[in-house]
């Protein structure tokens, strides 16, 4: 998977899909680039935006509450599960360079590899499922 988007809901989908694949005995790798990389910054999993201002007619704040009530895991928790099951996280070197980010700006314990398109391709070429999120 390429995680290009930084939207809360899209990262949700990415991690749920990744964790789902892992629990079926498959491998999973997510390449975080552009706005997605923002999520790997220290504190990046907690805040952030939904794709759209409202969802099924309700507001963002209300949706977060709903998600809590439905016992939906937080992104941090989903990421922890993903990593524990062996999910791979790749941080995009080019995005880091463009933004002047140092490795210490990221949650380094989450990152398995710092890479470029070749790194991505290496995983993607043998993948049965490829998604751009």
The binding site for its own copies (CB under 8 A) comprises: 1-2, 4-6, 9-10, 12-13, 16-17, 19-21, 24, 26, 33-35, 38, 41, 49, 51-52, 55-56, 63, 66-67, 70, 72, 94, 97-101, 116-118, 120-121, 124-125, 127-133
Nearer to its own copies, 17 or 111 (CB): 17
CB of 79 to its own copies, least distance (A): 16
Nearer to its own copies, 54 or 76 (CB): 54
CB of 34 to its own copies, least distance (A): 5
Q: Tell me how far CA of residue 58 lies from CA of 9, 45, 68, 91, 104, in angstroms.
A: 15, 23, 15, 34, 38
String of b and e for 17-36 (b: at least 16 CB within 10 Å)? Answer: bbbebbeeeeebbbbbbbbb
Residue 77 structure tokens: 């928790």
CB of 91 to its own copies, least distance (A): 13
Q: Which residue, chain included where needed, has tokens 């993903």?
A: 82
Nearer to its own copies, 103 or 129 (CB): 129
Q: How far is CA 108 from the centre of its chain?
A: 14
């Amino acid at each position: 998977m390429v995680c290009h988007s930084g939207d809360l809901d899209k990262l949700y989908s990415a991690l749920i899909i990744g964790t789902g694949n892992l629990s079926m005995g498959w491998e999973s790798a997510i390449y975080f680039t552009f706005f997605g990389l923002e999520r790997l910054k220290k504190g990046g999993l907690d805040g952030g935006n939904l794709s759209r201002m409202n969802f099924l007619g309700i507001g963002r704040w209300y949706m977060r509450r709903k998600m809590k009530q439905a016992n939906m895991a937080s992104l941090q928790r989903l990421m922890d599960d993903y990593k524990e099951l062996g999910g791979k996280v790749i941080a995009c070197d080019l995005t880091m360079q463009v933004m002047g980010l140092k490795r210490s700006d990221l949650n380094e314990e989450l990152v398995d590899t710092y890479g470029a398109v070749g790194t991505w391709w290496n995983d993607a070429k043998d993948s049965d499922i490829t998604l751009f999120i």
